[in-house]
Structure 1
Amino acid sequence: MQQHLALFDPFEKMQFGYRTCFLCGNTITQDQVTQVFPEWLMQEYDITERPLQMLDQSVVQFKDLQVPCCRRCQTQYIQPLEEQVQAAAQQGVAGLRALEPKLLFQWLGKMFYGTLINELIKEQDPLIKPEYAVSEQPKMLMKFQSFFKVLQSLRVPMTFADFLPGSIFVVDVDAAAEPSRFEFRDDLTTMMISLRLDNAMIVCCLLDNELLKRAMRRVWAEVEPRKLQPIQAAEFSARVFYGAYLLNVIPDYLPRQAKPQDEVLVMDSLIDDVTDVIFNPWENSAYAKMLALSWARWGVTQADILKDPEAPISMLFTPAGEFVEFPEVPGQA
C-alpha cells in the first residue's frame, strides 16, 4: 500500500502521549500541538477560559485542551478544515447544512477525539481515579478504535463506500428566545457530541452509519424545515442522545485492498447484527431522565415529564402527533 494511504492505529499499543502526533503517529517535540476547540471558535464565542469538567473530576479551561499534532498535519489537514467550517458557520444554519457532511463529521470528530485523548492522558495520572476508566473498558476502546479509522479521512484520502459514519443533524433554533450563544455537550460512551452556535445546533452520533438518522426520519422531517424554540431544540437533542444510548451495534470499518496506482482508500463498513437488535427497547422512564437533564434550566422535572407514564410530555408534538408551533412550558404562564 502507498504510504499516504496507510492508517495509524494508536490503540494497538495505546500510543497516547505528548510526543506522538494524534493523527499520523509520528514522533514529535512537545511544543507541537493543536487546539481541540479551534481558536476561531473560542474567540467568537468567548469560551477560551470557560471551565470544562473532565472524567477524573479535574476542571480545565477550553484553551487548555490541546492534542499533540505535527506541523504537517496542522498546516495541511487541520487548518484547511477549520477555515472551511468557520466560513460555513458564519453563514449560520444554511451554511452548515450546505457544508459537505463528511467535513462536518471530521470537524466534530476531531473535537470529540481530542477530548478523549486528554481523558486518556489524564488517566495515567488522575486527580481522582474515575469509577470507569476508559482505558480499562475493552468495548469502549473497540468503539474508539473503529471511529479513529474513519476519522483518519482527515489525513488519508478516503471515500466511504455507501455510508457516512455518523448521523448529523443541524437544527435551526430561535436564538432571540435565549441569550446563550454557545453550548457544548459530549458523551464518550455513546459517541455523542452536540454544539450550539448562535441559532445553529449541531447534534451528532459519530459512530452509527446514520442508523439514528434513519430511525428518526419522521421526526427529522418535521423538525428540519422549522425554527425551534430552545426548549424544543433541547428535546430534540435529548431524543438523539437517548437513541444513541439504545444503539446496540458497533460498526466496523475495513479498508479495501489498495492497488499500487490508487490515490484514494475506499472504506467499507460491516455491522455485526447477528443479534438482530440494532436498538434496544425504548423505556419511557430512562428517556424521561435524559429529557429532564436537557430541560433542567426550565425547571421541568422527571415527574412532570412522566405525569402520564405511558406518554411522556413533549414540546415538539401533540399526543396526536402534530407539530407544536407554540410550546407552553409546564408550570410557566
Structure 2
Amino acid sequence: MQQQNLTLFDPFEGMRFGNRICFLCGTGISLDHQTPVFPAWLMEEYGFGELPLRLLDQSVVAHQDLKIPCCPHCQAHHLAPLEEKMRQAVKGGVAALRELDEQLLFQWLGKMFYGTLITELIKEQDPLIKPEYAVSEQPKMLMKFQAFYRVLQSLRVPMQFADFIPCSLFIVEVDASAEPSRFEYRDELSTMMFSLRLDNALIICCLLDNGIIQQSMHRVWAEIEPRVLQPIQAAEFSARVFYSGYLFNVIPDYLLRPVKPTDDHVVMDSLIDDITNVIFNPWDSSAYAKMLAMYWARWGITAQDILRDPQEPMSMLFSPEGEFIQFPQIPGLEK
C-alpha cells in the first residue's frame, strides 16, 4: 500500500483531463467534487472573487467560479493543510513568507497556475471560440507542462528534490502606503511565470527553471531583497523577471529514482540539456521595453520613453552608473 502511495500520476499520458477526474491523483469523481483554483480565504481577504478572468477561448469567468476537479481525500489531506499554512504566512507579511519552505510556496503558486492551465485544457475540448494557439496542439508546451506536473506531484506524494528547487522565487517588499492597491495577479502560461501582490508583499515566480533565473539575477536580487521598493520599482523588477522567463530556452527534465518497498518518500533528480540548447536567448532591449511599458502603463510611460537612450533603457531601480535609486523621479510627476 505504501508503494502505491508513492506512485506518480501523469494526466498528460493520454491527455486525461476532465471534470470527472481528480487533478491531483487521477481518481474518478463526481461533478460536485471541485475545489477553487484561487483559495476562498484569499479571495475573501483581498476581494477579487467576483472580478472577471478572460480565458484563451475568450470566455469570461469570475475568479470565484474558476474550479478544478479534486477528490475529497486530496482536498482534506493535501490542499487544506497547505492553504492553512499559507494563510498564516500571508498574515505574517514579507518576513513570514520569506521564512517559508520554498517547496511549500512553489506548491501553492503551482496549484493556482496549474488550475488555470487545466481549465484551459478542459475548455479546449468544447471552446467558445477556438484559440489561435491551442495549448493541446503545441508539443513543446505540453512537454513543459508535463515536466512541471511531475514536480507538482510533491503536493500529494512526499518528494525530495535532490539538489535543486524547481522554481525561481522572489519575495519583494513594496511600500504599500504609496499605492492603495492591495492585490495584483499576473500569470503567463507559455513562460510559466506567476506573480501575486498581497499588500506589501510581491511574490514573483518562474515555476519551471530550477532556480536558474534567480542565479542569473543574483547581483540585482542581492541589492533589491533588503530594500522596500516603490510600486514603480516593484513593477520594473517584475518586468525584468518576467522578461528573463521569456528568454529562458530550456525545459528541465525530471527523473524519479527507483522506489524501494521501505521508502516513505520519493527522490527527484533533474537534468538540463545545456549542450544542445542555449539556456537564455539574447537580450533584446526593444522587446524588453515593450514588456516594461505594459508594467508601467499606469504611470503613462511608453516603450518610446523607455528607449530614449537605446543603449541604456530607462530604469527606476538603478542609475546609469549602477547605483540603486532611493527616490525615483517618475516622468510627468517631477516637482
Tell me the TM-score normalised to structure 2 length.
0.98
Corresponding residue number in structure 1 for 2:53: 52
Post-superposition shift, 1:80? Answer: 0.1
8 A contact 1:159–1:266 mirrored in 2: yes
For each residue in 1:29-84, what CA deviation from the matched residue of structure 2 results, as whole angstroms up to 9, or x when unmatched? 11101110000000000111011111111111001110000000000000000000
Aligned to 2:163: 162
Deviation per CA, 1:139-162: give whole Å up to 9, x if none: 000000000000000000000000
- 2:147 pairs with 1:149: no
1:276–1:123 Cα change, 3 Å? closer
Is 1:89 aligned to residue 52 of structure 2?
no
Give the superposition deviation at 1:331.
2.1
Deviation at 1:276, TM superposition (A): 5.2
Q: Does 1:308 align with 2:306?
A: no
Name the counterpart of 2:233: 232
- Counterpart residue number, 1:98: 99
* 1:113-140 Cα deviation digits (max 9, x unpaired): 0000111111111121111000000000
Question: 1:223 corresponds to which letter in structure 2?
Answer: I
SS of residue matched to 2:187: strand
Q: Which amino acid aligns with 2:315?
A: S
RMSD over aligned Cα, in angstroms?
Answer: 0.8
AA in 2 matched with 1:307: R
After TM superposition, the structure 1 stretch with the greater mean CA deviation from structure 2, 56-65 or 85-94, is 56-65
Conserved in 1, the CA contact under 8 Å of 2:168 and 2:213? yes
3-state SS of 2:169 partner: strand
The question of whether the paired residues in 1 share the 8 Å contact of 2:161 and 2:267 is answered with: yes
- Aligned counterparts of 1:56 and 1:236: Cα–Cα separation in 2: 30
Cα distance in structure 1, aligned partners of 2:139 and 2:330: 42
Preserved CA contact (<8 Å) 1:169 1:203: yes
State the alpha-carbon separation in 1 of the partners of residues 141 and 65 from structure 2: 25
For 2:277 and 2:146, locate their aligned partners in 1 and report how far apart those are by CA, in whole Å.
Answer: 23
Residue identity in the other structure for 2:140: K
2:212 alignment partner in structure 1? 211
In structure 2, what is the Cα distance between the partners aligned to 1:325 and 1:122?
46
Mean Cα deviation higher: 275-284 or 13-22: 275-284
What SS class does the counterpart of residue 186 from structure 1 fall into?
strand
Gaps of 5+ in 2: none
Please give the alpha-carbon distance, in whole angstroms, between the structure 1 residues aligned to 2:203 and 2:251.
Answer: 22
Counterparts of residues 243-254 of structure 1 (less than 5 Å): 243-254=244-255
SS of 1:170's equivalent?
A: strand
d(CA) in 1 for partners of 2:9 and 2:277?
A: 32
1:108: which partner in 2?
109
Contact 2:250 2:277 in 1 (8 A): no
Which residue is equivalent to 1:70? 71
The answer to whether the Cα contact below 8 Å between 2:249 and 2:277 also exists between their aligned partners in 1 is: no
Query: In structure 1, the residue corresponding to 2:30 is in which secondary structure?
Result: coil
2:58 and 2:76 map into 1 onto residues whose CA distance is 33
Give the equivalent residue in structure 1 for 2:319.
318
Aligned length: 333
Deviation at 1:274, TM superposition (A): 1.7
- Return the letter of the residue paired with 1:221: A
Q: Normalized against structure 1, the TM-score is what?
A: 0.99
Q: CA deviation at 1:267?
A: 0.2
Give the whole-Å Cα distance in 2 for the aligned partners of 1:272 and 1:25.
30
Residues of 2 paired with 1:175 and 1:72: CA distance? 39
- Runs of 4+ aligned structure 1 residues displaced above 2 Å come to none
Partner amino acid for 2:36?
Q
Q: What amino acid maps onto 1:112 in structure 2?
A: F
Encode CA deviations 1:279-323: one digit per residue, 9 max, x unaligned: 111110010011000000110000000000111000000000000
Does the 8 Å contact 1:304/1:330 carry over to 2? Answer: no
Unpaired segments ≥5 residues, structure 1: none
Aligned-pair CA distance for 1:200: 0.3
Tell me the CA shift for residue 275 of structure 1: 2.5
Note the C-alpha offset of 1:239: 0.2
Distance 1:41 1:226 in 2: 26
> Which whole-Å deviations, capped at 9, do the CAs of 1:77-102 have from their partners, x for residues lacking one?
00000000000000000011011100
Contact 1:292 1:305 in 2 (8 A): yes
Once the two structures are superposed, the pairs formed by residues 292-303 of structure 1 within 5 Å of their partners are: 292-303=293-304
Task: Render the CA deviation track for 1:165-223: whole Å, top value 9, x for unaligned.
Answer: 00000000001101111000000000000000000000000000000000000010010
- Match runs of 1:175-214 below 5 Å: 175-214=176-215
Contact 2:253 2:272 in 1 (8 A): yes
Letter in 2 for 1:303: Q
Deviation at 1:254, TM superposition (A): 0.6
SS of structure 2 residue aligned to 1:2: helix
User: Whole-Å Cα distance in 2 between the matches of residues 332 and 306 of structure 1?
Assistant: 19
